[in-house]
Amino acid sequence: MNIPALFDLAGRKALVTGASRGIGQAIAEALAAAGADVAVTARGMAALGETCRRIEARKKSAFAFSLDVREVDACARVVADAAERLGGLDILVNNAGCEEVRPSLDVDEALWDRIVSTNLKGAFFCAQAAARQMADSGEGGAIINLCSLTSYVGVPTAVPYGSSKSGLMGMTHALAAEWAGLGIRVNAIAPGYFRTAMTDVFYQDAAWQEAMLAKIPQRRFGAMEDVAGAVIFLASDASAYVTGHCVPVDGGYLASI
């Protein structure tokens, strides 16, 4: 049994949405480090420059595309264009997402639609477009969705976000069951507490940090390498018999509540 070969992504073609910064950027770089050529998306092309540089520093090809995942036609077009530029598509990571903390009694339709359309609708239509590419190739592939601790637990003032991420968990289960016969595996990861541009407002509060660390058995916040390792596992042949699951990457948070 060749264990290193199980995790080797040499020759694989990957697409990561929402890859201009934070977790998405780290995932794109990790896929390249494992051997994949990587296409990345964000709403603005300029924001993808650093991500592409990191991929190319790993001696892999990088392709950037502008994409707002709320636009269904654009999802299909960009996934097809990425597959053409890459020479195929083996891996999709649905990372694009947004959040805004707001008391539920103050949530309006515009906020609800923005969050749910980005986190859930966009993920579905990107997955659908990717699955068509993977099925047509006859080779199958791996789709990885970015869920959340809110896929499991209720968080006050994050109802639209939690609803979208709970829906994404259900979508992961259903697509895994439906597409297994096509050779397409669909899994997810649920990052715990990671400091990113989207969550930085919380980490500026020292009292909040202290309270959250007390709830995490490992007593630390997540590092980008923690997410990267889980994604490589789910994208590679090491997880060939794993589909329909969500892997929490949370330092033991969910296990302790």
CATH number (domain holding residue 78)? 3.40.50.720
d(CA 256, CA 213): 12
161 is catalytic: yes
Lowest pLDDT segment from 38-47, 195-204, 220-229: 195-204
> Distance from first CA to last CA of the chain, Å, rounded?
38
d(CA 116, CA 169): 13
* Amino acid letter, 221: F
% of the chain at pLDDT higher than 70: 100
Q: Could you give phi then psi for residue 202, rounded to 5 degrees?
A: -70, -40
How many CA atoms are closer than 13 Å to the CA of 19, on its beta-carbon side? 35
The predicted pLDDT at position 199 comes to 81
pLDDT interval class at 234 (50, 70, 90): very high
Q: Which letter, b or e, does each residue of 72-110 get, where b requires 16 or more Cβ atoms within 10 Å of its Cβ?
A: bebbbebbeebbeebebbbbbbbbbbbbeebeeeeeeee
pLDDT in tens, 112-132: 999 999 999 999 999 999 999
Q: In terms of residue numbers, what domain contains 35?
A: 3-256
Is the pTM higher than 0.85? The answer reads: yes
Average pLDDT, rounded, for the chain: 96
The predicted pLDDT at position 157 comes to 94
Pairing status of strand 62-66 against strand 91-94: unpaired
**How many domains are contained in the chain?**
1
Identified catalytic residue from 152, 161, 193, 253: 161
200 neighbors 151 (Cβ within 8 angstroms): no
Mean pLDDT of 248-256: 97
Mean pLDDT of 73-88: 98
